[in-house]
Amino acid sequence: MSEHADAAEVVLDAKGLKCPLPVLRARKALRDVPPGGLLRVLATDPGSIADFQAYCDASANELTEWRDDAGVYEFLIRRAS
């Protein structure tokens, strides 16, 4: 489900999952990220753009960046302290 890119970043591959699963899996994965650490999520559901923006707006976590790379959406979330 996740792999450590380095000590400060966790990667979650949520490609192929439909709404709301990418956000739910990310929320669960954030439990294993230390405060101030980063979670990078890869998703293919176009609805995940709005979902991750809304999730980060509603939570204390920060969506530091996101991008679309040929239909694979990449979100970088910093866990709240």
Q: What is the pLDDT of residues 10-63, one digit of tens each?
A: 999 999 999 999 999 999 999 999 999 999 999 999 999 999 999 999 999 999
pLDDT, position 4 = 40
- Domain of 63, CATH number, reads 3.30.110.40
Whole-angstrom CA distances from 21 to 8, 13, 18, 48 are 24, 11, 6, 9
| Marked catalytic residue, from 11, 17, 19, 21 | 19
Q: Is residue 1 pLDDT above 80, yes or no?
A: no
H or E, element range at 67:
strand 62-69
Residue 5 has pLDDT above 70, yes or no: no
User: Among 81, 50, 54, which Cα is nearest to 68's?
Assistant: 50
Q: Is 19 a catalytic residue?
A: yes
The pLDDT value given to residue 6: 44
Residue 20 is predicted with a pLDDT of: 94
What confidence category does residue 81 fall into, taking pLDDT thresholds of 50, 70 and 90? confident
CA end-to-end span of the chain, whole Å?
A: 24
Q: How many domains are contained in the chain?
A: 1
Domain of residue 51, residue span: 2-78
User: For 57-77, what is the mean pLDDT?
Assistant: 97
Taking residue 44's Cβ as centre, other Cβ atoms within 10 Å add up to: 14
